[in-house]
Amino acid sequence: MNNQVAENITEMTNKMIGTLTTLQNINTEAVKSLTEKQFSIVEGLISSSTKQLEELSTVKSPEEVISAQSKIVGEVGETMLSQIKENIEILNESRAKMEALVSKEVNEFIEKAKNVAP
């Protein structure tokens, strides 16, 4: 009986370590995707700044300045909203993967505990 208990504890510990490793992999994947999105945002902002400088160098009146800046602000706003939506999708996907994994592991643990209990 003691060997069986020790084997069950070892098995559950190994399973828990595997689960934690999988959770870490999910987190790493999410952080990698979010970092790539952040680089995309930075590239977009740099591009917008360059475009703004180019457009402002050709304007001749205050109205043209306001018009050019309004256009660029609108474009940047659209880009930011798009990036935010993509970030939320990444986070939601990660959360769903984690919830499914934890739920599965908890259910398996409960079943295993029922089978081990005297």
Domain that holds residue 11: 2-110
Domains in the chain: how many in total? 1
Ranges 66-70, 91-95, 112-116, most confident? 91-95
Cβ contact 116:8 at 8 Å: yes
d(C-alpha 62, C-alpha 56), whole Å: 10
Q: Is 116 part of a structural domain of the chain?
A: no
Q: Is 115 part of a structural domain of the chain?
A: no
Over the stretch 73-107, which tens digit does the pLDDT of each residue have?
Answer: 888 888 889 989 999 999 999 999 999 999 998 88
Using DSSP, state whether 60 is helix, strand or coil. Answer: coil
Q: Taking the model in full, what pTM does it have?
A: 0.72
Q: Is 69 part of a structural domain of the chain?
A: yes
Closest CA to 93 of 47, 17, 31, 16: 31
